[in-house]
Amino acid sequence: MQKAVEMSRSEGHAAGADLQSRVLLEGVSKSYGEEWERQDVIVDLTAEITPGELTVIVGPSGCGKTTLVNLIAGFETPDKGRILLNGEPVTGPGHDRMVVFQETALIPWQTTYENVVFGPKLRGDLSGKELQDEAERLLNKVGLREFMHKYPLQLSGGMQRRAELARALINQPKLMIMDEPFRGLDAMSRGLMQEFFLRLFEENRRTNLFVTSEIDEAIFLADRLILLANRPSFVRKVIDVKLPRPRHYSMLSSPEAYAYKREAMAILHEEAMKNFKSTATSKDFIDAYSKRAD
């Protein structure tokens, strides 16, 4: 009976059931420090991560993007406001929200296969041949079947990223959260990982939140682009990116993509410049930055 239930659940996931979740952030604020010197990082932030879409968050360096990831993941709690996943308050971490971080979080003394099965095995969600079959299916999907018995240090940076995707996906999360996951990769590996990640997304349309500092990456990936203000952060603007899917990098040369980039860069430039005021050195920086080639 249990096996029949698990098979039914697996088939539902394969068909896209439970993959399209909605996240609402309502008046979220977060500060750090002692009461007499608290620093506001996020103030009255309201946003929506829409079902079955790839929502990308972009903002100036230090504006609080990772803090926002930690709040949605449940690693931290808002000082004010609330975060809802499918109408239920987020009160702590859970495997319904999986995060792929900037730095690798693979366990170094475990093989690729052992890393992938670690979560479900620990919770007892899957076991035996069922767990093995699902792990091997995902490792095959991310192109690591031949490397399943290798350790993380034996994998390239791109392979480690793919292993972490498989480790997250085996938990069947309602929301995938990507916190600048390709930041440390070289340009070629980063481009390949972006296209690989898009193929995975376009196969199942799982609700995704992707955080990046790269505007080209954001436009290439996004259905919706959320632009954050400088600290204290709030939503400056939401841009619906209407580029057709499936996508290819050549689309970034289109007039539509260029228009999105100009609109986003104008806002991000304005927010970034808030950190460079009042001194001659700052004025020189602003003048040079303003004259840069698009």
* Distance of alpha carbon 166 from alpha carbon 184, whole angstroms: 19
Q: Please choose, from the candidates 126, 116, 189, the residue with its C-alpha nearest in 3D space to the C-alpha of residue 149.
A: 116
The Cα–Cα gap between 105 and 103 comes to 6
Residue 7 has pLDDT above 70, yes or no: no
Q: What is the pLDDT of residues 100-156, one digit of tens each?
A: 988 888 999 999 999 999 988 888 777 788 899 999 999 998 889 999 999 999 999
Which helix (H) or strand (E) segment is 121 a member of? helix 112-123
Instruction: Encode pLDDT of 177-199 as tens digits.
Output: 999 988 878 888 888 889 989 98
145 contacts: CB under 8 Å, gap ≥ 6? 136, 139
pLDDT at position 101 = 87
Domain boundaries, the chain: 16-96+173-290
- Structure-derived torsion over alpha carbons of residues 199, 217, 19, 104, reported in degrees to the nearest 10: 90
* Percent of all residues in the chain with a pLDDT value above 90, rounded to a whole number: 61
Q: Which residues pair with 219 in a beta bridge?
A: none
Domain 16-96+173-290 top-level CATH class = alpha beta
pTM (two decimals): 0.84
C-alpha torsion 182→290→239→20, nearest 10 = 10
**Confidence at 6, pLDDT banded by 50, 70, 90:** very low
pLDDT tens digit sequence for 9-39: 343 344 444 677 999 999 999 999 887 788 8
Cβ contact 13:36 at 8 Å: no
Distance of CA 251 to the CA centre of its chain: 21
Give the residue among 48, 111, 89 at the shortest CA–CA distance from 238: 48
Could you tell me which residues are beta bridge partners of residue 100? 178
**What average pLDDT does range 85-90 have in this prediction?**
95
Confidence (pLDDT) at 291: 55
pLDDT band (50, 70, 90) for residue 40? very high
Residue 61 CA to chain centroid, in angstroms?
16
